[in-house]
């Protein structure tokens, strides 16, 4: 089978399984097998595939057919222009979370400090912590997660990107290990999905991604309430809290920050115009 024929076969298989992005997913599988960019596969249309490549593609297509996320099937995901290892130990990084990193990097008063102390809470793959570490070499970065499996994945990514010696990995429930006034920035993409909405999530999310990284109680704010309350104590004066939130949670989370005593509270929208990031300063 050549590349062109395999692309058609994979796309037809995935389309028959109800995948809306069947062609794009087939392109991604082939690009990964060939070690090239997705659209470059069309330059190799008549290239014959090796038997081991065909076997790998068959196995990967079967996993996609069973609604496993493409990122887990490939074992990697792109985030802020870099490739991170990604598997079922952690939530899949999404483009909306890049906006959280962008907001965090915009806090000039934080990065002007001699050695900013920054905590990424619920680090998962480590994509936020690592991106901040790469952008701000003077900062001391803490990557915290309650899951030891997620922390192992984050460490793997830190080694991959050469920042393992600049990040401290902490197994913890939110901000518990940090002292009062110890942090200049707390950034987090916490769980924020209401439990009642869990059953309505797409199967590839509901059945494959870790529930404790998504489900946040009756109104989706259980974790956010605790995190905001802790951040007020753990932030130094002038420190900043930056959070990713659900699309309809902006006013409620903003009020949580204001009620906790944070100032300059602001809500930022995502690419689709939904509330997505909330920030506040101590």
- Model confidence at 280, pLDDT cuts 50, 70, 90, reads very high
Q: Are 167 and 132 in contact (CB under 8 A)?
A: no
Q: Give the per-residue pLDDT at 207.
A: 92
Q: Give the per-residue pLDDT at 39.
A: 87
- Model confidence at 127, pLDDT cuts 50, 70, 90, reads very high
- The whole-number average pLDDT for the span 127-155 is 98
Residue % of the chain over a pLDDT of 90: 85
Higher pLDDT among residues 199 and 72, named by residue: 72
Residue % of the chain over a pLDDT of 70: 100
Q: Give the per-residue pLDDT at 1.
A: 82
Q: Give the per-residue pLDDT at 17.
A: 84
Homologous superfamily in CATH for domain 79-281: Vaccinia Virus protein VP39 (3.40.50.150)
Pairing of strands 76-79, 235-244: unpaired
Q: Which of 132, 221, 121, 134 is nearest to 178 (CA)?
A: 121
pTM score of the predicted model: 0.93
Q: Give the per-residue pLDDT at 16.
A: 87
Q: What is the pLDDT of residues 1-50, one digit of tens each?
A: 889 999 999 999 888 888 888 999 999 999 999 988 888 999 888 899 99
- The whole-number average pLDDT for the span 215-219 is 95
- What are the extents of the domains in the chain? 3-66, 79-281
Q: What is the pLDDT of residues 251-273, one digit of tens each?
A: 999 999 999 999 999 999 999 99
pLDDT mean across residues, the chain: 95
Higher pLDDT among residues 139 and 65, named by residue: 139
Residue the block writes with tokens 């399984």? 17
Give 261: exposed, middle or buried? Use CB within 10 Å, 0-12, 13-18, 19+: exposed
Q: Are 90 and 125 in contact (CB under 8 A)?
A: yes
What one-character-per-residue DSSP string does 2-62 give?
BHHHHHHHHHHHHHHTT-TTHHHHHHHHHHHHHTS-GGGGGGGTTPBPPHHHHHHHHHHHH
Q: Give the per-residue pLDDT at 20.
A: 85
Q: Are 116 and 136 in contact (CB under 8 A)?
A: yes
Q: Give the per-residue pLDDT at 223.
A: 97
Q: What is the pLDDT of residues 154-200, one digit of tens each?
A: 999 999 999 999 999 999 999 999 999 999 999 999 999 999 999 89
């Amino acid at each position: 089978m050549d590349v062109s024929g395999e692309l058609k076969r994979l796309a037809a298989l995935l389309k028959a399984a109800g995948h809306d992005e069947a062609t794009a997913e087939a392109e991604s599988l082939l690009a990964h097998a060939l070690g090239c960019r997705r659209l470059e596969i069309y330059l190799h249309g008549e290239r014959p595939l090796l038997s081991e490549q065909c076997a790998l593609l068959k196995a990967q297509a079967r996993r996609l057919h069973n609604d496993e996320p493409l990122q887990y099937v490939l074992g990697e995901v792109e985030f802020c222009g870099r490739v991170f290892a990604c598997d079922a130990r952690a939530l899949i990084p999404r483009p909306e979370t890049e906006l959280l990193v962008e907001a965090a990097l915009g806090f000039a008063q934080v990065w002007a400090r001699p050695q900013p102390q920054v905590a990424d809470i619920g680090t998962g793959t480590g994509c936020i912590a690592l991106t901040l570490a790469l952008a701000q070499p003077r900062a001391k970065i803490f990557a915290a997660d309650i899951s030891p499996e997620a922390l192992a994945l984050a460490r793997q990514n830190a080694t991959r990107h050469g920042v393992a010696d600049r990040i401290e990995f902490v197994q913890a429930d939110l901000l518990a290990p940090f002292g009062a006034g110890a942090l200049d920035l707390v950034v987090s993409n916490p769980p924020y999905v209401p439990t009642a909405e869990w059953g309505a999530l797409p199967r590839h999310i509901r059945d494959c991604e870790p529930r404790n990284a998504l489900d946040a109680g009756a109104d989706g704010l259980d974790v956010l309430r605790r995190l905001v309350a802790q951040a007020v104590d753990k932030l130094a004066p002038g420190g900043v809290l930056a959070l990713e939130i659900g699309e309809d949670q902006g006013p409620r989370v903003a009020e949580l920050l204001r009620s906790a005593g944070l100032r300059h509270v602001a809500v930022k929208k995502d690419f689709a115009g939904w509330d997505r990031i909330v920030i506040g300063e101590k």
